[in-house]
Structure 1
Amino acid sequence: IIRVTGGQKVKADRDESSPYAAMLAAQDVAEKCKTLGINALHVKIRATGGNKTKTPGPGGQSALRALARAGMKIGRIEDVTP
């Protein structure tokens, strides 16, 4: 329904994968969900996977925290790393 990335929220390339960018993206998602009347979410977190890291980075945790602080109810948290 809604997809926002860290790269859409910050100007510098080095900040795209930072927890700050993830927090801004999550706040934007929460705001758009509320305008659509959605107040509960199932969250899927994805790391790079493949030959790279299989664990989600620090941005995943800050994004979840930002969603919870924005008043969204979080149902399931699922890791969908390939």
Structure 2
Amino acid sequence: MKVKADRDEASPYAAMLAAQDVAERCKALSINALHIKLRATGGTKTKTPGPGAQSALRALARSGIKIG
């Protein structure tokens, strides 16, 4: 759990904090590249990933991990 308030759990900020932890763990395990699959709701709903997914991907890319 990265944020204290329940309403902030699905926020881009919480996703960014989680992605930074993943990046630190990957660097500790000497992993320097990741294949990431993003999935949106699709169907009659939106076909683009949400803001949390976008900020998590951006945080991983900024941490120096190669995205494949």
Unaligned runs of 5+ in 2: none
Distance apart, 1:29 and its partner CA: 0.3
Name structure 1 gaps, 5 residues minimum: 1-7, 76-82
Secondary structure, aligned partner of 2:25? helix
% same residue:
84
1:40 counterpart (33, 52, 55): 33
Change (3 A) 1:59 1:40: same
Q: Quick check: which one's strand share is greater?
A: 1
Give the distance between the partners of 1:41 and 1:65, measured in 2 at CA: 13
TM-score normalised by structure 2 residue count: 0.85
Partner of 1:73: 66
Q: Which has the higher contact order (CA 8 A, sep 6+)?
A: 2
2:57 aligned with 1:64: yes
Q: Which residue pairs with 2:2 in the alignment? A: 9
Cα RMSD after superposing both structures: 1.7
TM-score (norm 1): 0.72
Report the Cα distance in structure 2 between the residues aligned to 1:50 and 1:11, rounded to whole angstroms: 33
> Could you say if the C-alpha distance between residues 62 and 54 of structure 1 is closer, same or farther in structure 2, counting changes exceeding 3 Å?
same
